[in-house]
Amino acid sequence: MTGDPRRAWGSTLSVAELAAIRSCGFRPVGQVMGSCVHQFWPGIYGTGMYGGAGIMGGGLYGGYSLTQELPEYAGALRRARRLALDRMSAEAAGAHGVVGVRLNLRRVDVGASVIEFTALGTAVQADGLTPEPGFRPFLSLLSGTDFARLLRSGYVPCGVVMGVCALWVASGWRTAMQLGSWYGQEVQQYSEAAMRARDLAMASLRRDMAEVSADGAVGGDVTMEIHEWEGGRGPEHMVEFLSLGTAVTRFFDGPARDDLPHPVIRLT
C-alpha cells in the first residue's frame, strides 16, 4: 500500500475520526487486514479443554498437585495474535501506522480448540513525509478521535500489546474441606491462583511493552475467564487471563497551557 493519489482510500473511520486524524497531520491511505486461524494442541493436558470429556477431564492431569501454567495454550494465543498483526502490518507497508485496529478473538471450534484472530484497521500516513525503508508501522487499537487526543497530549501509539496467562488450578485437601463446610470463608487456593494468573499475564504484557520500547500502555482491556469441569476428584479449574492494550511513547512533554482541556456543560 503506497497511498497512490489516483486511488480512493477505503477506511472504517467515521467522519469525526477522519476530522480528528486530519487535525493532527495524518491522512488515511487505506483499509488493512490480517488474520490467522490457529489450532491449540494441549499436549498431555488433553483435548477436551472445555467439555471435560477428554484426557484432561479423565484424570491424566492427576500428577499436578501444584497450580501451574499451561504454556501451550497461552503460546497459541500469542502466536495467532502476532501472525494476524504481522500480516496486517505487511499490508500497511509504506504507511506510517494503522489506527482503529479491531482485534477479534473467535473460538472457531471449541472442542478441537481452534481459535481465529482477525485484525482490521485503517492505515495512515503523516503529511509531507514518506516512511523510511524498513519502518515498522505503528499499530493502535484506539479510535481516530482517541488517537488525536493522545497525540495532542504528547503520546504517539507504538504497538498493540498483549498479556496472557492460562493457569491450571490445583485443589488440595484443604480446599475440599472448605468447599464442604457450612461456614462462609475464603478459598485461599483459588484466590491465590486468580492473583497469580493476573501477575503472570501482566508480566507478559510488560515484556511486549519492552519489545516496542513503550513508555506506557493505555486502554488495557482486562478479561478473566474460568473454565470449570468435573474431574476425577471434584471440580477442576483453569483460569485464563487476557489483557490487551495500546502501547504509547512520549514525544513531547504535554500540551501547552492554552491547550489544556476546559470544562463544558453539554446542552443535550
Partner 1 sequence: MAASLAAEMAQRAVRALEQRGPTRHGSGFTCDLSPAELVAIEAAGCEPLELVMGSAIWHVGFQMLPSWSSGGEITQLSQAMYGAREAAMRRMEREAASVGADGIVGVRISIDFHRWGAGLAEFSTVGTAIRSRSRRASLRTPRGSVFTSDLSGQDLWTLLRTGYRPLGLVMGSCVYISSRQSVGAWLGSRTRNVELTNLTEGMYTARELAMERMDREARSYGADGIVGVKLTERAHAWGNRVIEFLALGTAVHRWTDQIDAAPPSMVLPLDR
Closer of 32 and 150 to partner 1 (Cβ): 150
Q: Is 170 in the site for partner 1 (CB under 8 A)?
A: no
Question: Which of 111, 191, 232, 233 is in the footprint of partner 1 by CB under 8 A?
Answer: 191
Inter-residue contact 21 to 147 (CB < 8 Å): yes
Q: Is 18 in the site for partner 1 (CB under 8 A)?
A: no
Burial of residue 245, with CB atoms counted within 10 A of its CB: 0-12 exposed, 13-18 middle, 19 or more buried? buried
Instruction: Name residues contacting partner 1, limited to 28-47 (CB under 8 A).
Output: none
Question: Which of 142, 160, 164, 200 is in the footprint of partner 1 by CB under 8 A?
Answer: 142
Q: Which of the 8 DSSP states describes residue 254?
A: S
Q: Is 178 in the site for partner 1 (CB under 8 A)?
A: yes
CA distances from 120 to 84, 160, 260 (A): 9, 13, 32
Question: Which of 7, 10, 109, 135 is in the footprint of partner 1 by CB under 8 A?
Answer: 135
Closest approach, Cβ 90 to partner 1, in A, equals 18
Question: Which of 6, 63, 66, 132 is in the footprint of partner 1 by CB under 8 A?
Answer: 132
Closer of 13 and 158 to partner 1 (Cβ): 158
Instruction: Name residues contacting partner 1, limited to 94-123 (CB under 8 A).
Output: 96
Considering CB under 8 A, how many residues would be counted as binding partner 1? 78
Closest approach, Cβ 37 to partner 1, in A, equals 27
Question: Which of 83, 86, 206, 231 is in the footprint of partner 1 by CB under 8 A?
Answer: 206
Residues linked to residue 36 through DSSP beta bridges, in sequence order: 117
Closer of 87 and 96 to partner 1 (Cβ): 96
CA angle at 254 for the pair 210 and 16, rounded to the nearest 5°: 90
Cα–Cα nearest to 112, from 54, 25, 60, 29? 54
Closer of 111 and 216 to partner 1 (Cβ): 216
d(CA 229, CA 231): 6
Q: Is 9 in the site for partner 1 (CB under 8 A)?
A: no
Inter-residue contact 77 to 242 (CB < 8 Å): yes
Question: Which of 7, 102, 172, 228 is in the footprint of partner 1 by CB under 8 A?
Answer: 228
Amino acid at 214: A
Instruction: Name residues contacting partner 1, limited to 229-268 (CB under 8 A).
Output: 235, 237, 243, 245, 249-252, 254, 260-268
Inter-residue contact 72 to 42 (CB < 8 Å): yes
The position carrying cell 494476524 is 84
Q: Is 223 in the site for partner 1 (CB under 8 A)?
A: no
Inter-residue contact 67 to 234 (CB < 8 Å): no
Q: At what angle do helices 15-23 and 144-152 cross, to 10 degrees?
A: 20
Q: Is 129 in the site for partner 1 (CB under 8 A)?
A: yes
